[in-house]
Amino acid sequence: MLLILALVDFGWGVGSYALRHAVPGEASLLPPDKSEPQRFHWHALLQAVPIPSLRFTSATGLAISHSSEGTRGRDPVPGELATRNVVATFGGSTTYDIGAGEGDTWSDRLAAALEQGDGKGRFFIVNHGVPGYTTVEHLIQTAFYQTKFGKTPRCAIYYVGWNDLRNAHIPHLDPAYADFHLPSQVDSLKVRRVGGSAIFARYRPSTGSALSSPSGSANSSTVRGFRATAATAGCRWCATATSGRWSRS
């Protein structure tokens, strides 16, 4: 039996080596050779948030950093915000930009563009993006966590939609997404608490069942919530759908 297991293990190793060198881009059959530090930790309301002051180079060579306030990107230098307006960007993985290194996220590109011409020295971009976040999390972020580095944003940009769509029309979906979206965030961002919190049950669709309505999706009531919450803080806002189907400014 041990000999058989050893042969299987050896075969996996040889197969992975052959795939990696003969077919570029093919995934290995074994766990990655390099591990990365944990990017996110558990949060009672948002399930997962970026770990503050994190800096590392990913296995693919990308420089990743989180600010001291738990946002993607750098901290402002002392005194920088005294003369700048904060522009907050909200979204999922396309705003966090999981495949982009520092300086290459669209929030970074926006910051560079605003430094041109008359905009030079007027704005500072704070990237609130977190992979998997839906408009529900963005509403919570806007209501409670939009102020970073002691300054409320003057303008907010929401690049949203796709994560709402993937949560819609699932059989027997819990109205608050407690049996699909929330546990999927805990698992995909690897923030499951061991030995502390309650155990989440995985969602398994039932065949032949009725479809639920996307009550938590990016609908008009959620968007009105953005507007009302942002207006309370004196913040202008605009929203753009990642699906390309709606926008608001």
Strand ranges (E), the chain: 40-43, 47-50, 55-57, 63-65, 85-91, 123-127, 155-160, 236-241, 247-248
Number of H helices, E strands in the chain: 7, 9
pLDDT tops 90 at residue 154: yes
Average pLDDT, the chain: 80
Contact 51, 69 (CB under 8 A): no
129 close to 67: Cβ distance less than 8 angstroms: no
For the chain, which residues make up each domain, given as ranges? 1-33, 36-248
Entry pTM:
0.70
CA 213 from centre of chain:
24
- Name the nearest CA neighbour of 113 among 130, 89, 83: 89
Cα separations (Å) of 220 from 111, 166, 213?
29, 18, 14
Reported as a pLDDT band with limits 50, 70 and 90, residue 222 is low
Residue 159 sits at φ, ψ, to 5 deg, of: -110, 90
Alpha-carbon span 59 to 23, nearest angstrom: 19
DSSP letter, residue 217 = S
* DSSP characters over 18-63: HHHHHSTTPPPSS--SS-----EEEETTTEEEEPTT-EEE-TTS-E
Q: Tell me what percent of the residues of the chain surpass a pLDDT of 70.
A: 69
Q: Which of 32, 73, 31, 35 is nearest to 52 (CA)?
A: 73
Residue 197: pLDDT band by 50, 70, 90 thresholds?
A: very low
More confident residue, 25 or 239: 239
Q: Is the pLDDT of residue 183 over 60?
A: yes
What pLDDT shows up at residue 30? Answer: 56
pLDDT (average), residues 229-237: 66
